[in-house]
Amino acid sequence: MTTKVTINRLATGVPGLDEVLGGGLPEFSFNLIAGQPGCGKTTLAHQIMFALATPESPAIYFTVLGEPPLKMLRYQQQFDFFDAEQVIRSIRFVNLSEDAMVGNLDRVLRRIVDEVTLHSPGLVFVDSFRSVVQAAEDTDGSGNKLQQFVQQLGMLMTSWQATTFLIGEYFDETDANPVFTVADGLIWMRQNVQRNSMVRKMEILKMRGQSTLPGLHTFRIGTAGIKVFAPASGAVPAPSIAASAAGASANAVRLGMGVPGLDEMLGGGLPRGYSVLVAGPSGSGKSILANAFLSEGVRRGETGVMAAFEQHPNKTRNGELFDLIESGKIGLVDTRAPDLSIDETVLLLLNEVRRLGATRVVIDSLSGFELSLPPTFRDDFRESLLQMVSVLARAGVTVLVTSELEDRYTDLRFSPYGAAFLTDAIIVQRYIELGSRLRRVMAVVKVRASAHSDELREFTIGADGIRIGEMLPDQEGLLGGRPTRKRALDLSEPAANASDA
């Protein structure tokens, strides 16, 4: 039997935060929540407090010189987590502003100790800690007293078996603030503003005794409170080797695309669990193909999920798809929220996939997706796409993504992001000029680990959707956009051909 101490981890009640923290908040830890004004520190503290406080393990929230308590109570109760019934029963608010105003840290500490001794709280919050720091500096002029204060507070709170949070503003993370050394956990909250977009991000700089998810994690503040979006890669666990083998055999199952003839071109349909990129210029029929893919799933008794970044399905333009969404067979992820991150989008997709038990997912389109992202995420768009596609694949769904492709007749490209390698299959659509008309051709460029057609087939779009026609064997140079009629003499007159060369 082990005699090592077992550290309990508390569920914070903040969606996504426990995951980022590496399994919850260590009990009796001494934590600092830092960040600029307005970044959500007090909200985070309240959300954790209302989730964890009980009459047996109550919370004390000490307000110092930051936000006036009346205002704090006024605004915090706008959040769903604020339950007035818990106040007094399991949550006490204690004002220390008058003690802090005289700058006597001993007096502040004494008040805290008195209250903690009296009520034996399981949770202690001190908000805002910066004002304690300032009060000390104003009177003492040095940080020594503060360091003593923090060390004493940390020691006392741990001895009193209280999980403690200091909420502080403006801290410069490069500053060797003594609080950072003493704290067991450092939660840094930021607001990233670029142009007109604002993205909130959180970083766990330190959490003693456990492995946290590194890096910046986006979060959003809504009426329910704070929601953290942990990296998409963690949203679905990586499959075991046995599960991968089972998945490989599942790939033998092929899904119909809903476009007559396309399944044959794909070698018998799209293998289940694959991702397919449909690339083509504007108006070539990518969204129509995507809609057909979802509708075909419903015809076969499946459900699907769609993230539409360009045009939202409506009754007049996409009648059939609209009806399927209305009937609940297709879930539509709302992509209109401002400053949506890729991690958040993946989470929205996965939630909808789980809710509907969906097997097919459409993202229409990558170009629209990139444009909807705040500038701060665009640099990492390609990496994030790879992560998104692999997470969705791990979730077992078959994914179709469309991508706008500027027609360049001098090179054969499938994605403006170099994202072609991300997907298991690629279907490309092109315009060609023939007989003074713009006509469309389609080809299957790749289907990983599967035979597939190499034909370049003409297709048309009518009221009943995409209709794939024949090859244009008498034309050559189709991908150059301006095909020419093959010369009939080529085969019948080799001598003449040779002389031409």
Partner 1 sequence: MDTQKSPPGTAPPSQADESTGAPSIADTMVWAWRDINVVLVPIVGERGVAALHNRSLHLTGKAFPWLAAPPGGLEAIVDLDALHALLTLQGTEAATDGGNALLRTFHDLLSTLIGLSLTERLLFPVWEKYLSASPAQDPSP
* Site for partner 1 contains 251 (CB under 8 A): no
As measured in angstroms, the least distance from the Cβ of 74 to partner 1 is 5
Reduce the DSSP state of residue 395 to 3 states and report it.
coil
Helix (H) or strand (E) holding 470: strand 465-471
Helix (H) or strand (E) holding 179: helix 178-182
* Site for partner 1 contains 55 (CB under 8 A): no
* Site for partner 1 contains 77 (CB under 8 A): yes
As measured in angstroms, the least distance from the Cβ of 70 to partner 1 is 5
Nearer to partner 1, 61 or 414 (CB): 61
CB 194 within 8 A of CB 376: yes
As measured in angstroms, the least distance from the Cβ of 111 to partner 1 is 10
Write out the E strands in 229-303.
Answer: 254-255, 270-271, 275-280
Which DSSP state fits 85?
G
* Site for partner 1 contains 74 (CB under 8 A): yes
As measured in angstroms, the least distance from the Cβ of 245 to partner 1 is 57
As measured in angstroms, the least distance from the Cβ of 80 to partner 1 is 14
CB 187 within 8 A of CB 163: no
Residue by residue, DSSP assigns 373-414 as: S-HHHHTTHHHHHHHHHHHHHHTT-EEEEEEE----TTS--S
Which DSSP state fits 315?
T
* Site for partner 1 contains 213 (CB under 8 A): no
Nearer to partner 1, 77 or 151 (CB): 77
* DSSP β-bridge partners for residue 439: 432
Nearer to partner 1, 132 or 428 (CB): 132
Q: What mask, x for binding partner 1 by CB under 8 A, covers residues 98 to 137?
A: x---------------------------------------
What is the rounded distance in angstroms from the CA atom of residue 392 to the CA atom of residue 144?
53
Nearer to partner 1, 99 or 296 (CB): 99
Residue with tokens 């476009």: 259
Reduce the DSSP state of residue 153 to 3 states and report it.
helix
Token pair in block for residue 232: 């998409």
Q: How many residues bind partner 1 (CB under 8 A)?
A: 16
Nearer to partner 1, 95 or 191 (CB): 95
36, 70, 198, 326: which one contacts partner 1 (CB under 8 A)? 70
Subset of 79-98 contacting partner 1 (CB under 8 A):
84-85, 87-88, 92-95, 97-98
As measured in angstroms, the least distance from the Cβ of 106 to partner 1 is 19
Nearer to partner 1, 70 or 246 (CB): 70
Residue type present at position 478: L
Q: What angle do CA 57, 58, 64 make, to 5 degrees?
A: 140
Reduce the DSSP state of residue 232 to 3 states and report it.
helix
Binding site for partner 1 (CB under 8 A): 68-70, 73-74, 77, 84-85, 87-88, 92-95, 97-98
